[in-house]
Amino acid sequence: MSEKKSWFQKLTERPRKPYANPYIGGAILGVTLFLSLMLTANGLGASAIFARINGFLVNLVAPSHVDRVPQLIKVAGGSRNPFNNWITFEVTGLIIGALTASILFGRFKVETTKGPRVSEKTRWLLAFIGGAIFLYGARMARGCTSGQVMSGGASLSAGSWSIGLVMFTIAFIVAYFVRKIWN
Amino acid sequence: MFPLASINALGKTGVFLIEVLIGFAFGFGLEISGFSNSYVLTGQFYFRNGRVIKAMFTAIMVAMVLIFGSVALGILDYDVIWVDPTYLWPGIVGGLLMGLGIIIGGYCPGTSIVSSVSLKKDAWFFVLGGLFGTFLFSETEPLFHYFYNDSFYGRLTVMDVFHISTGLTVTIFVILAVLLFWLNDVLVRKYAREDSDPFLKRGWVGRVAIVLVAGALIVWAIWPTWQQKWTRVAPKKAPLLEQYQVQISPAELFSSLQDHKTNTVVIDVRDDYSYNLFHLKWEHHIPLNELEAYAPILKKEVKEVPLTVFVLVSDDEGKSTEGWKILEAEGVPNVYILSGGFNSLIMTFGDEDIEKGLCAPAPSSVSEVERLNYYFKGALGDRYRASDLSINDEWAEEMLEKLKFKPKIKLQKPKGVAGGGCG
């Protein structure tokens, strides 16, 4: 018998709409970044939330260890609450925004996005490895695509532009060697 | 004056609420641009589509034109907003790893959160990997702590590096971005197997180019001169001059130079001839017509050495007052003028030099603005006792005891947000 669909199924089975014009998407992101600097003096960010979650988790397992590691002291040292920071609120908004857009345009679906020639499990492993490398680099560079390349790029930070150039150049070069993953 | 957070107009709750709204638009913008899918995102690197370059550089350029347009109009204080500080080598190594990470992992941190939310399993693994990478970094950072904090240039802007004006910089970046959009489309047309990008129509690059280039040219055209900036700050700053609150006595300059807790930077704004005749040891010589160009460097100095005070000197106080207006217009904090200039300084400290005949009071005792009231036997530079006011010897101790003054220097903290970016 045909069961009544759950609310979750309904949300994931909405018709998929095409993505927006990237220039329009970019303009929305640009105005958002500008408003962020106008109102809060901060740019956009994302990788910082990883550092704060990491600080929170290490603090749960080994609180005394936190106070010995410079990178952890910054976010969770002493009685510091790692989430008492603007980034927590910005990422909360980011999650709601992404949820709204993906449900609205039918892209809210349990799936694995990958190149046609790799299995799902390989893709998951590569995503984990890539994530680890990326965030190691983002901590080293003191910011990621949003914090450095976009925010620092728009406010004309010399360091941000050098980071962005290196990042894109390397990605294009390595893309050729790993083309089997994606094509 | 924006940013609003700098004047505490919002309060902590207000800022956090606004952050949620900004995050919402950020997440929405990333999702609709196609970045909740690693296959679409990495499509850029094979020119299956050109979405990353289009969305990302449009975002940067739109924000850049709006930011510097607002700065030019005087409604946004560029000195207060977050500009990522430059740590050159850790940045380059980090950029290298991020380039590697994005092509192997298929996401960057922001897009991995967006994709996780839209239920992409691979994004969940990227986020887990990202947490592991963050953990590894915090544990291994002590091993290369020196490198991580090395090659630090502070708040370094592209304008500081190339010594070009802000308007020109914005225009160059916008033109480069438009060329990149054009090249991107050429390559996508060549390599895209299917019509994966319905926005490849030729008209789009042209439309984007017109809007961005027009914006950049407007920024360039309306960028204010220091005189225009001075008119904006004059209602607040001119009374300080009139009430004689920023003109410090030679005795206060001396005491400030003797006090090694403060970083007293003396800036001589006279021309080369007067400088060679007589100047203070350890001072900086920046002729008045070059002072505006030095403003960004002075602002950096205050950020890096917080207890910095600038004292402008000239023969009397005409040129130094002009210099004060330039630096105030450019937003340099803690700037003072040596009251009476070198005339007054030699009168206070030059007894010994006068006795030795190195200099002598000019016959006319009528003080004109910008005329040195002393004769010098020759160009002796800083080889006078009165030239070195920072050395602490018996004479200096005696002078410190003897001289009385009403202190006017009040040090202000440098402007700017405490933290930001992905810190």
pLDDT tens profile A31-85: 999 999 999 888 999 999 999 999 999 999 998 899 888 889 888 888 889 998 8
How far apart (Å, rounded) are the C-alpha atoms in residues B259 and B392?
A: 10
Whether the CB of A111 is below 8 Å from some CB of chain B: the reply is yes
Whether the CB of B299 is below 8 Å from some CB of chain A: the reply is no
CB pairs under 8 A between A and B: 579
Give me the pLDDT at residue A79, please. 83
* CB-CB under 8 Å, A142 with B421: yes
Inter-residue contact B320 to B312 (CB < 8 Å): yes
Output phi, psi for B245, to 5 deg: -90, -15
Evaluate if residue A2 carries a pLDDT over 70. Answer: no
Task: State yes or no: cis peptide before B414, omega within 30 of 0.
Answer: no
> Token pair for residue B405?
């003054």
Whether the CB of B258 is below 8 Å from some CB of chain A: the reply is no
Q: Which of residues 84-143 of B touch A (CB under 8 A)?
A: 84-88, 90-115, 117-123, 125-139, 141-142
Element (H, E) at B309: strand B308-313
* CB-CB under 8 Å, A101 with B148: no
pLDDT block averages, 10 residues each, chain B of length 423: 72 86 97 93 93 96 97 91 93 97 96 96 98 96 93 90 94 97 91 67 85 96 93 91 90 86 90 84 87 88 85 90 94 91 83 67 58 73 74 78 81 62 50
How far apart (Å, rounded) are the C-alpha atoms in residues B50 and B196?
A: 9
Q: Show the 3-state SS of chain A.
A: CCCCCCHHHHHHCCCCCCCCCHHHHHHHHHHHHHHHHHHHCCCCCCHHHHHHHHHHHHHHHCHHHHCCCHHHHHHHCCCCCCCCCHHHHHHHHHHHHHHHHHHHCCCCCCECCCCCCCCHHHHHHHHHHHHHHHHHHHHHCCCCHHHHHHHHHHCCEHHHHHHHHHHHHHHHHHHHHCHHHHC
Output phi, psi for B152, to 5 deg: -90, 125
Evaluate if residue A111 carries a pLDDT over 60. Answer: yes
* CB-CB under 8 Å, A153 with B10: no
Give me the pLDDT at residue B196, please. 58
Whether the CB of A21 is below 8 Å from some CB of chain B: the reply is yes
10 Å Cβ neighbour count for B209? 17
Q: For residue B43, give the DSSP letter.
A: G
Give me the pLDDT at residue B44, please. 95
**Among candidates B306, B258, B314, which has minimal Cα distance to B285?**
B314
**Among candidates A51, A33, A13, which has minimal Cα distance to A151?**
A33
**Among candidates A45, A88, A90, A75, which has minimal Cα distance to B82?**
A45
User: Any alpha helices (H) in B243-317, and if so which ranges?
Assistant: 250-258, 272-277, 291-304
Residues with Cβ within 8 Å of A29's Cβ and at least 6 positions away in sequence, in order, are: A150, B25, B26, B29, B30, B33, B55, B56, B58, B59, B62, B63
Tell me the three state secondary structure of residue B54: helix
Q: How far is B193 from chain A (nearest CA, A)?
A: 11
How far apart (Å, rounded) are the C-alpha atoms in residues B72 and B77?
A: 9
Domains of chain B: residue spans and CATH: 4-224 (no CATH), 227-402 (3.40.250.10)
> Token pair for residue B39?
């296959």
Tell me the three state secondary structure of residue B311: strand
How far apart (Å, rounded) are the C-alpha atoms in residues B378 and B387?
A: 15
CB neighbour burial string for B376-407, b if at least 16 within 10 angstroms, e if fewer: beeebeeebbbbbbbeeeeebeebeeeeeeee
Give me the pLDDT at residue B388, please. 76
Nearest CA in chain A to B212: A27
Give me the pLDDT at residue A133, please. 98
Output phi, psi for B225, to 5 deg: -80, 170
Beta bridge partners of B248: B338
What is each CA distance from B249 to B66, B252, B299, B329, in whole angstroms?
44, 5, 24, 23
Whether the CB of A7 is below 8 Å from some CB of chain B: the reply is no
Chain B residue numbers with beta carbons less than 8 Å from the beta carbon of A179 are 46
Residue with tokens 């007067």: B274
* CB-CB under 8 Å, B21 with A93: yes
Evaluate if residue A93 carries a pLDDT over 50. Answer: yes
Inter-residue contact B300 to B164 (CB < 8 Å): no
Nearest CA in chain A to B148: A140
Q: Is B178 left (phi over 0), alpha (psi -120 to 50) or beta?
A: alpha
Nearest CA in chain A to B209: A23
Give me the pLDDT at residue B423, please. 46
What amino acid is encoded at A94 in this protein? Answer: L
Give me the pLDDT at residue B140, please. 95
Q: How far is B64 from chain A (nearest CA, A)?
A: 4
Q: Which of residues 372-391 of B touch A (CB under 8 A)?
A: none
Give me the pLDDT at residue B198, please. 64
Element (H, E) at B248: strand B247-248
> Token pair for residue A148?
């450095």
Evaluate if residue A180 carries a pLDDT over 50. Answer: yes
Give me the pLDDT at residue B297, please. 87
